[in-house]
Amino acid sequence: MNDIHGYLESWRKDPGGVRPVVTRLFEQLQKYEPDFEFVVREGVSASLRARVRKPGTARPLFCLVDIVEDADGRWLSVCFYADTVSDSNESGNLVPEGLLGEDGYCFDVDGADAEYEGYLFDRIAQAHAAVLAGNS
């Protein structure tokens, strides 16, 4: 299954309440009219990749949402290229060469938190602007 809608519809067990967060992140990303790629690695993770549509962009990817399969339930890792976002709350993790071979900044989500989601929405806007401007 390589369709985010089908994946979300088939998602039954959600002890951490992460599914609605994925839906809200997806809705937020849609505001930027990206090209989406959805890659499922059965039993491991599913990755929603958002790319800008501007031709000639050196690094068109501006956000990657990993839905990680775990024995205790799914959790999220929302990642950006490290040089496209700031983290004034210091809530993210620098992942050397962790985003398609480049340094990434990832924010883990294990449940709903409106304030944290707002913080992530701001990171999405920041990363999108940086990629469009070629500042990445």
Query: What is the pLDDT confidence band of residue 1, given thresholds at 50, 70 and 90?
Result: very low
- Could you give the number of structural domains in the chain? 1
Quote the domain boundaries for residue 126.
4-133
Strand partners, 124: none
pLDDT given for residue 107 in this prediction? 98
Q: What is the DSSP string of 2-69?
A: --HHHHHHH----TT--HHHHHHHHHHHHTT--EEEEEEETTTEEEEEEE---TT-SS-EEEEEEEE-
Q: What is the pLDDT of residues 57-112, one digit of tens each?
A: 778 889 999 999 988 889 999 999 999 999 999 999 999 998 989 999 999 999 99
Read off the CATH number of the domain in which 86 is found. 3.90.1150
